[in-house]
Amino acid sequence: MKTLEIKTTDLKKLRKAMEKELNAKRYEHTLSVAYTAASLAMVHGVEPSKALIAGMLHDCAKCLSNKKLISICEKNDLPVSETELQNPAALLHAKVGSFLAKEEYKIEDEDILNAIRYHTTGRPNMSELEKILYIADYIEPGRKHASNLPMIRRMAFRDLDGTLFKILEDTLSYLHSVSGHLDDKALKTGPLDPMTQETYNYYKKSLRKGQNE
Ligand code: DGI
Ligand code: FE
Ligand code: FE
């Protein structure tokens, strides 16, 4: 396992910065995600301190306005898709968060930066840390409304890919249900990001392949 040196003082600094940057509810969520991710990392052979940092910073851009999110992207040549423009709060905070993690909070570890970058949509062929952050964000103790939570929480400590797929399935079905029409592109939450669908397709195929082997 590749270890990452993280000083307690650094972690304390990040925590304080998040307390300042986020509203109270988002800060509580952040702490819960950080420690849930660290616990998952311990079970699945990933460096816990990496998971802790990824969790601590994953929503660092969540309390920025849509205008600010878009202007950070424009100023720094971060590409913004049509879909992201329609729901910047949900879809751009991960991309901008990853950018800020590197530039403001001086995180150099690419795996941590990618975990933050893809924590909302996932992506095909995710690293173990990327999966852990994606899952921790969904199962942290403060989450209450997602479907199948007790089952998904248990599963997360045994089977990362299966859990990831179940969450993707439930997220897609949630995103469609708020619109009421499975084929309605104009979802209330903004359109589906093609990456969410690609991630779902990828894991559906890879899990099926695993079962047939
Ligand atoms: O930032 P959090 O609220 O902790 O959670 P998150 O970053 O996973 O997701 C923010 C929201 O984005 C969540 O309600 C699910 C939603 N989401 C995930 N994939 C897509 C999406 N929303 C849209 N419009 N399109 C997607 O593909
Ligand atoms: Fe988020
Ligand atoms: Fe989150």
Task: Please report which confidence band the pLDDT of residue 2 belongs to, taking 50, 70 and 90 as the band edges.
Answer: low
For residue range 120-163, list pLDDT tens digits in order.
Answer: 999 999 999 999 999 999 999 999 888 799 999 999 999 999 99
7, pLDDT greater than 70 = no
Residue 170 one-letter amino acid: D
10, pLDDT greater than 70 = yes
33, pLDDT greater than 90 = yes
The alpha carbon dihedral of 207, 208, 209, 211 has a sign of positive
What value does the mean pLDDT take over residues 3-13?
74
Length of the chain: 213
181, pLDDT greater than 50 = no
190 in ligand 1 pocket by Cβ < 6 Å? Answer: yes
59 in ligand 1 pocket by Cβ < 6 Å? Answer: yes
- pTM value is 0.93
Task: Please report which confidence band the pLDDT of residue 186 belongs to, taking 50, 70 and 90 as the band edges.
Answer: very low
* pLDDT of 94: 98
Q: CB-based contacts of 20: which residues, under 8 Å, 6+ apart?
A: none
Which residue shows structure tokens 């306005």?
65
83 in ligand 1 pocket by Cβ < 6 Å? Answer: no
Which residue shows structure tokens 């708020």?
178
Tokens of 122: 């996932």
Q: Tell me how far apart the 2 most distant CA atoms of the chain are, in Å.
A: 50
What CA–CA distances, in Å, run from 42 to 28, 48, 129, 159, 211? 22, 6, 11, 13, 26
Tokens of 102: 């590197």
CA of 153 to the centre of ligand 3 (A): 16
* pLDDT of 9: 63
How big is the chain by its Cα radius of gyration, in Å? 17
212, pLDDT greater than 60 = yes
Burial 180-208 (b: 16+ CB within 10 A, else e): eeeeeeebeebbbbebbeebbebbeeeee
User: Looking at ligand 1, which residue's alpha carbon is closest to its atom 5?
Assistant: 120
Number of other CB atoms surrounding residue 133 within 10 Å: 31
95, pLDDT greater than 90 = yes
189 in ligand 1 pocket by Cβ < 6 Å? Answer: yes
166, pLDDT greater than 50 = yes
CB-based contact 62:26 (threshold 8 Å): yes
CA of 91 to the centre of ligand 3 (A): 12
Task: Please report which confidence band the pLDDT of residue 182 belongs to, taking 50, 70 and 90 as the band edges.
Answer: very low
The rounded mean pLDDT for the chain is 92
Task: Please report which confidence band the pLDDT of residue 211 belongs to, taking 50, 70 and 90 as the band edges.
Answer: confident
163 in ligand 1 pocket by Cβ < 6 Å? Answer: no
What value does the mean pLDDT take over residues 77-89?
95
Enclosing H/E stretch for 98: helix 88-103
How much of the chain, in percent, has pLDDT values that exceed 70? 90
